[in-house]
Amino acid sequence: MIPENRPVLGRDLDAVRQEFGLLTNDIIWVLSMSITRWTQIVRQAPDEPVKDPTLALLVRFLAQHPELAVVPQQPTPAELFELMNESADVEPKRFATYFGAESSAAYRWMKTDARPSSTVSRLMHFMKIAMLMQGPSGRSQMLENWRKTVDQEAKARGVDNVFKTGRWSTTPILDNGAPHSELPRTTAG
């Protein structure tokens, strides 16, 4: 992937990112970079040699070993939903609420195979690992504790009954489904 007769260039970092199928925030974690440094090297100087030899060697190593799982495989929403339902009764329409998303996201994740945000995917990954570390009864208790945590976070944000409404927003919804903030304004005349 990276020719041996030249140094590693800024664009090679993005090529490695693409080879592994990673998002930019994932590759900057793998390479231990900041987004600012990534931008300087990859976007502003793509044809310049990477000045840091350790970074260049790390990129070259990864390019030579595409079989490495540099970022853990994230569970699919359906996979995690099934695992959670082995231990507790999780309503399909409220599944996304466990991950800080509006309930409608669960439908997109499960029916259309839309990918959750990277933050949701990470939370799902860590939840899966924690659940697999527990026995069946421990999983039920863990999910109950997590449900309480989610509810506490929602209440701290001024959202009551997050599992009932499936909404994290505090904007009231009118009968027509539009939030109050989206109502047309009238002028007195």
Note the pLDDT tens digit of each residue in 125-148. 889 989 999 988 899 999 999 999
- Let me know if residue 187 belongs to a domain: no
What is the tally of structural domains in the chain?
2
Looking at the fold, whether 28 and 107 belong to one and the same domain comes out as no
Rounded to whole angstroms, the Cα distance separating 163 from 103 reads: 9
Looking at the fold, whether 46 and 123 belong to one and the same domain comes out as no
What pLDDT does residue 7 have?
93
Rounded to whole angstroms, the Cα distance separating 21 from 37 reads: 20
pTM of the entire predicted model? 0.66
Tokens 């090529």: give the residue.
15
Please report the sign of the dihedral spanned by the C-alpha atoms of residue 55, residue 59, residue 60, residue 61.
positive
Tokens of 146: 């997590």
- Let me know if residue 3 belongs to a domain: no
DSSP 167: -
Rounded to whole angstroms, the Cα distance separating 24 from 139 reads: 33
Nearest CA to 146 out of 78, 73, 94, 76 is that of 94
Rounded to whole angstroms, the Cα distance separating 133 from 131 reads: 5
Out of 44-53, 86-95, 169-178, the most confident range is 44-53
Residue 56 — very low, low, confident or very high, per pLDDT cuts 50/70/90?
A: very high
Average pLDDT over residues 172-184: 48
Report the percent of the chain where pLDDT is more than 90.
Answer: 53
Average pLDDT over residues 45-62: 94
- Let me know if residue 182 belongs to a domain: no
Show the domain range for 100: 77-165
Looking at the fold, whether 93 and 14 belong to one and the same domain comes out as no
Looking at the fold, whether 99 and 31 belong to one and the same domain comes out as no
Identify which has the larger pLDDT, 184 or 88: 88
- Let me know if residue 188 belongs to a domain: no
How many CA atoms lie less than 13 Å away from 23 in the CB half-sphere? 12
Average pLDDT over residues 80-90: 92
Greatest extent of the chain over all pairs of C-alpha atoms, in Å: 77
Rounded to whole angstroms, the Cα distance separating 123 from 114 reads: 16
Which three-class secondary structure state does DSSP give residue 114? coil
